[in-house]
Amino acid sequence: MDNLTFRYSVLLVEGLQVTPQSSQLTFIFLLMAYVFAMVSNIGILIQILAEKSLHQPMYILFCHLPVSDIIGITVLVPRLLRDLMTDPSERYITYVECVFQAFFAHLNGTTSHTILMIMAFDRYVAICNPLRYPTIMSNKMIVKLSAGAWGAAVVPVSILIGLSVRLSHCRSFIANHFCDNPSLFKLSCENTVINNVYGLTFTVVLLTSSLGWVLLTYLRIVMVCIKSNNKATNSKAIKTCSTHLAVYIILQICGFVPIVLHRFPVYAETRKFGGIMFHVIPPGLNPIIYGLQSKEIRQRMLKMCKNKS
């Protein structure tokens, strides 16, 4: 393979800069986190799909979250595990694999927000318009919301990655622990102003629309609860909304940590671990939060445990 072909078809990934001892501990932690996240997310998906009593709009919309989490953690962790067991000078990845990893990593990050946005809408309708809830949240509406959540992620992410793929390359080193959009366009020596502007605009629009929509829906819910004198309704609202809000806060914290650390080059390795946590912590905690908080899912899990025993 000549040097020109090598530089364009195969890339060297920096990976995590850890000592051999730390490498083993990191490997064990990531492997356990990956297995737990996969088992819990697949398990909760099977429970919802198998139990007819869980075929409600809230749970059907929630099903998209485990799917997104499975994509996010699978596109990152197995590759990291392999790199941890590989010499730093031999952590190669093909350019095509790098593009796919970047696409699905950004897809996971985007759908995590859009899915929680449609779930917030579901909670808003259930609490603010309970009598019209069955009419509004029909099967047709669920399909529209689901398609909208994924479509609003696939289209802009495809453009984001497409703008980087169009560039020629003059480098073959990924100065990161995995492939993302900045890693792709930094391989080029061409002008990347369009990439930076679109990437920044995309991020700002996603975060502001996500935060704005969730704040708006919860503000309306709080106003309804204040006006209502029904303690049972208010208690139910707090219970269902607290679960969604906890998941959303965890997502925001895990997302903002690497963004903030990116401004401080001295914390480059800490930023890498922060980026890993974004793909590991939410997939591991989301099934626990919804599984323990939801009475229906909790009863289903207890029933399965009794049948096995």
Q: What is the pLDDT of residues 187-229, one digit of tens each?
A: 988 888 999 999 999 999 999 999 999 999 999 888 888 887 7
Distance CA 239, CA 290 (A): 11
Which residues is 13 bridged to in the sheet?
Answer: 174
> Cβ atoms within 10 A of the Cβ of 213, count?
18
Backbone phi, psi, residue 94, to 5° = -75, 155
Cα–Cα dist 76/92, whole Å: 15
Closest CA to 83 of 25, 32, 22, 15: 15
| Chain centroid offset of residue 98 CA | 18
In the block, which residue shows the tokens 């953690």? 73
Amino acid identity at 152:
A
Burial code of 247-257, b = ≥16 C-beta within 10 A, e = fewer? bbebbbebbeb
**Amino acid 50: pLDDT:** 84
Quickly count helices (H) and strands (E) in the chain: 12, 3
User: What pLDDT score does 304 carry?
Assistant: 63
For 201, counting Cβ atoms within 10 Å of its Cβ (0-12 exposed, 13-18 middle, 19+ buried), the class is exposed
Q: Nearest 5 degrees, angle CA 29-CA 33-CA 34?
A: 115
Place of tokens 């609860």: 225
Element (H, E) at 173: strand 173-174
Q: CB of 117 within 8 A of CB of 71?
A: no
How confident is the model at residue 273, as a pLDDT?
A: 83
CB 116 within 8 A of CB 210: yes
What is the chain's length?
A: 309
The mean pLDDT values, 10 residues at a time, for the chain of 309 residues are: 51 85 89 94 89 85 94 94 89 93 95 95 89 91 96 96 90 88 89 92 94 92 81 74 88 84 73 85 89 69 62
What is the 3-state composition of the chain as percent helix, strand, coil, each rounded to the nearest 5? 80, 5, 15
pTM of the model: 0.89
Residue-level pLDDT at 307? 63
